[in-house]
Amino acid sequence: MEKVKAKEKPIVKKQTIGMKILTVLFTLISIFYVAPVFIVFMNSFKSNAAISREPFAFPTAETFQGFESYITGMFYGNFPFWKTILCSFFITIGGVILILLCTSMCAWYLNRSNTIICKIIYYFCIFSMVVPFQMVMFTLSKTADDLKLTTPWGILIIYLGFGAGLAVFMFSGFVKSIPIEIEEAADVDGAGPLRTFFGIVLPIMKPTFISVAILETMWIWNDYLLPYLILDKSYRTIPIHIQYLNGSYGHTDTSAIMSLIVLSIVPIVIFYFACQKYIIEGVVSGAVKG
């Protein structure tokens, strides 16, 4: 026994040293990724001339201009910024809710109804993750115009189509890990499909539910190309509003752009940190064999 214990000690030391090395490595990688965000935040308080001369320098008494660039960015043009914020929040929240409800029920039904048609639908959902958006964007824009989907309400349907692939894939993986005996017991007690899903299956799917919500929220909130192609000119999301700060004849209000980028980052960062503990749990829960 003493010899076995003597052999285990060096292994523990090696593991500890390895963990320290990995901690330092990932800390450096984290700093590398966070640095651009910090630079954007720092430049949002500087003038355009100062950003052009010294983009990596800290604001000084001469270059610091306070919240002037934030005010300039929010009140640029004739489009009210409050309407932009409301449009972004509506599209993001509405799109995520629609994706979560529809795809979770779809994944549950596809896994419990083990038919050839359900398998074909499932593989079509997986295939949609492979198709590049650039292949369908022109046809999609024309179809959206014909079907009058150029409003914040209409674009929710389009986001459902593009977000269904990943969501169905993750929900399907988790549903396979749920014992079917629980649903059979609910069926014996007289519960219908809707009551079984919302009363039993949905609470069990909470980790994956939140993980999908985080991924879809980050995608829809930061998306620029789809709203730019689909939405009518009377509607703008925050990325589109930022794009309009690139004026004509090469004039660009860099400081105002940096300011609005900071404002667009804050809500999604708060949401992510509030729900981040569920991401790994949800992804691991769905990583089961079919």
- Find all residues with CB under 8 Å of 175, minimum gap 6, and list them: 107, 108, 111, 112, 201, 205
In the block, tokens 């320290």 appear at 20
For 70-104, the pLDDT digits (tens) are 888 888 777 788 889 999 999 999 999 999 999 99
* pLDDT tens sequence across 224-246: 989 999 998 888 899 988 888 77
| Percent over 90 (pLDDT), the chain | 18
Contact between 168 and 242 under an 8 Å Cβ cutoff? The reply is no
Query: At 183, is the pLDDT very low, low, confident or very high (cuts 50, 70, 90)?
Result: confident
Give pTM, 2 decimals.
Answer: 0.82
In the CATH hierarchy, which fold is given to the domain comprising 81-285?
Answer: MetI-like fold (1.10.3720)
